[in-house]
Amino acid sequence: MGIAERKEREKEEMRELILRAASKIFLEEGYEKTSIRKIADAIEYSPATIYLYYRDKNELLHGLHVEAFQKMMQEFSKIAPINDPFARLVEMGHQYIKFGTQNPELYNLMFLMDAPMEALACRNEIWDDGLRAFDALRIVVADCIEAGYFKEPDVETISMTIWSYIHGLVTIYLKGRMKMFDDDRELERMQQSFALFIKMIKAI
């Protein structure tokens, strides 16, 4: 019976159609302006239809959040060719900062917004995307330890500390909290801080 399969396929296509429209509006106009009605308008369906494919807005935003993680992981894949593990870790940091500063709305969705987490919570699922990204960091950190770069053996704690630092840096910048230094040297300040942090982790 191929009819059920076709329906399943059509259902998936519709989910994708909605997600594409949502993604377009989200990236072009930001989260604030991404309303269910606007998405419905874009695909020329009624707002209620969206609720036949996504249980609520949180689920829809979670869908965008998954795509955002795919995009970030793709950026991370660029560092694979770097042989020296410490150089690879440093480059991973650069890529993270670059991704965050160039995709503010996505970064917000991935690491700050409640919506995608609430979608996971009500499905009793774990934050798999975050875990996979963190794993990518863990692996590089483990490689650094193995190569003798760090004396400290706790991969998890080192990784957490590195992520905390770089996430804090990016978030301070994205949320406009670096504008307090009146000058326009925000990105320069980030580079300087990052350089110092690299020096710091060299010593552990």
Partner DNA sequence: TTGTTTGGTAAACACTGTTTAGTACATTTG
Partner DNA sequence: CAAATGTACTAAACAGTGTTTACCAAACAA
Residue 193 binds a copy of itself (CB under 8 A): yes
Burial of 200 from C-beta contacts in 10 A (0-12 / 13-18 / 19+): exposed
Neighbours of 182 (CB within 10 A): 6
Q: Could you tell me the smallest distance in angstroms from the CB atom of residue 31 to DNA?
A: 9
CB atoms within 10 A of CB 148: 9
**Sign (positive/negative) of CA torsion 174, 178, 182, 185?**
negative
Contact status, residue 134 vs residue 159, Cβ threshold 8 Å: yes
Touching a copy of itself, residues 93-152 (CB under 8 A): 111-114, 117, 126-128, 130-131, 134, 152
* Residue 97 identity (one-letter amino acid): I
> Residue 11 touches which of a copy of itself, DNA, none (CB < 5 to 8 A by kind)?
DNA
Is residue 158 within 8 A of residue 86, CB to CB? The reply is no
d(CA 66, CA 106): 10
Contact 116, 58 (CB under 8 A): yes
User: According to CB under 7 A, which one of 48, 80, 180, 196 is a site residue for DNA?
Assistant: 48
Closest separation between CB of residue 140 and a copy of itself, Å?
Answer: 17
Give which of a copy of itself, DNA, none residue 46 binds (C-beta under 5 to 8 Å, depending on kind): DNA
Which of DNA, a copy of itself, none binds 186 (CB below 5-8 Å, type-dependent)?
none
Closer to a copy of itself by Cβ: residue 113 or 139: 113
Would you tell me which residues interact with a copy of itself (CB under 8 A)? 111-114, 117, 126-128, 130-131, 134, 152, 154, 156-158, 160-161, 163-169, 171-172, 175-177, 179-180, 182, 189, 192-193, 196-197, 199-201, 203-204
